[in-house]
Amino acid sequence: MMRVSVSGKVFTVGLISFWYASNIGVLLLNKYLLSNHGFRYPIFLTLCHMMACSILSYVAIAWLKMVPMQTVRSRVQFLKISSLGLIFCLSVVGGNISLRYLPVSFNQAVGATTPFFTAVFAYLMTLKKEGFLTYVTLIPVVAGVVIASGGEPSFHLFGFIMCIGATAARALKTVLQGVLLSSEGDKLNSMNLLMYMAPVAVAFLLPASIIMEEDVVGITISLAREDASILWLLLFNSALAYFVNLTNFLVTKHTSALTLQVLGNAKGAVAVVISILIFRNPVSVTGMFGYSLTVIGVILYSEAKKRGVDAIAIASRWQEMDARKSTVVRVECWKGLLFEPSYLMLTKVSMKAMRRVHDPEAKHSVLGLINAAVGRCVQQSSSK
């Protein structure tokens, strides 16, 4: 058992390391390709990424059976996937265009504002409201980017607009995916969704690249004749783009969404440090302070969201118990950590308080007391 546990931990650590390496690697390679060798074609670069994702996704699902294949069941579902594919495509293209004009460090600072756009789109599209504290945590997220923009030595307005657009598109895709693919018949896991979205993105990107990036294939071949490394870098970069999605899926599967969030926040900071060391782009104290403020805001936002979800779960648990008027709840505590009379008094006071309290923060405090008691005790119910 010990060996299995240790090997499982080693596997998880290796998986997270590969996820970090692929995420940071594709970001730095994108910047390197678009800033060197005379290669200035972000749409074509994204096209290469999507072609690799189309082929490798199919191989992983149809041949290697990494996950069960899910089929598109209706024309309506296909149109929904196509809409997501277009937005996904715009977010990646916008991000790659921004890398032509902005350093990776500033690109990551702007990209960290994704939670802000997610909250805005969630409200506009679903009228979903977050708790007051959650909205407060978004203030440092936005303020940090404003400060970082003012202190960025390599600031470029067009690059900044593209980066903001890419971040907003990424948030829009997340919200829209929850709306369009929420029913059981429409749900797809992330690997199957990528397998269907990537070819749709190719269909959009191919004509866009031909029209907007004249003779891009001919120029790329010419550049490859002068320096063959560019061809290998393109192939490696495209494969890496797929592994970003694959490792993201596997890390979520073997850890949790919360762990993924925490690791994602740290990943952005690691990418910033490595990019500064490699590309030697100038940074200012103001810019780094702004980015740090944004990261702190994102961490606080994640914590506020987690508490909100916990509060909802606890509230529904106790509402369900309160609804069963004919049920007497007997509590047995472990090792005398909490006495039964104290707990019963706590629940009665808390249940009354829950009916009267309307302030979310006060209600959250009451729920916290209930959760502490529930976590320590085993409930046994019997009818009167």
pLDDT in tens, 78-124: 999 999 999 999 999 999 999 999 999 999 999 999 999 999 999 99
* Average pLDDT of span 246-254: 87
Residue pair 48/292 in contact (Cβ under 8 Å)? The answer is no
Residue pair 24/271 in contact (Cβ under 8 Å)? The answer is yes
Q: What is the pLDDT of residues 312-324, one digit of tens each?
A: 555 555 555 554 4
Structure confidence at residue 311 (pLDDT): 53
Tokens linked to 131: 């708790």
**Model confidence at 56, in pLDDT bands (50, 70, 90)?**
very high
Angle between helices 340-356 and 360-376 (to 10 degrees): 160
Residue pair 173/91 in contact (Cβ under 8 Å)? The answer is yes
Between 326 and 31, residue with greater pLDDT: 31
**Model confidence at 301, in pLDDT bands (50, 70, 90)?**
confident
Structure confidence at residue 310 (pLDDT): 53
Structure confidence at residue 49 (pLDDT): 97
Percent of residues, the chain, with pLDDT higher than 90? 52
What's the Cα-to-Cα distance from 115 to each of 58, 68, 181, 185, rounded to whole Å? Answer: 31, 31, 20, 28
Cα–Cα–Cα angle for 357, 358, 362, rounded to 5 degrees: 65
Residue 40 has pLDDT above 50, yes or no: yes
Between 25 and 312, residue with greater pLDDT: 25
H-state helical runs in the chain: 2-35, 42-58, 75-101, 104-111, 114-126, 132-150, 157-180, 190-212, 216-226, 229-254, 257-279, 285-323, 340-356, 360-376
Average pLDDT, the chain: 81
* DSSP letter string, 321-343: HHH-TTEEEEEEEGGGSS-HHHH
Q: What is the pLDDT of residues 132-152, one digit of tens each?
A: 888 899 999 999 999 999 899
Residue 277 has pLDDT above 80, yes or no: yes
Q: With b meaning 16 or more CB within 10 Å and e meaning fewer, what string describes 62-82?
A: eeeeeeeeeeeeeeebeebbb
Say which residues have a Cβ less than 8 Å from residue 286's Cβ, sequence separation at least 6: 147, 148, 150, 151
**Model confidence at 352, in pLDDT bands (50, 70, 90)?**
very low
Residue 288 has pLDDT above 70, yes or no: yes
Q: What are phi and psi of 112, to 5 degrees?
A: -70, -10
Structure confidence at residue 254 (pLDDT): 81
Q: What are phi and psi of 380, to 5 degrees?
A: -130, 125
Q: What is the pLDDT of residues 148-189, one digit of tens each?
A: 998 999 999 999 999 999 999 999 999 999 888 877 778 889
Angle between helices 285-323 and 132-150 (to 10 degrees): 170
Between 166 and 262, residue with greater pLDDT: 166
Structure confidence at residue 30 (pLDDT): 95
* Average pLDDT of span 214-230: 91
Structure confidence at residue 37 (pLDDT): 74
Query: For tokens 């006060």, what's the residue?
Result: 362
Question: Domain limits of the chain?
Answer: 42-214+259-310, 324-383
Residue 284 has pLDDT above 50, yes or no: yes
Q: What is the pLDDT of residues 209-219, one digit of tens each?
A: 999 998 999 99
Between 352 and 338, residue with greater pLDDT: 352
Residue 334 has pLDDT above 60, yes or no: no
Structure confidence at residue 347 (pLDDT): 46
**Model confidence at 247, in pLDDT bands (50, 70, 90)?**
very high
Task: Compute the distance between CA of residue 207 and CA of residue 213 in angstroms, rounded to an integer.
Answer: 10
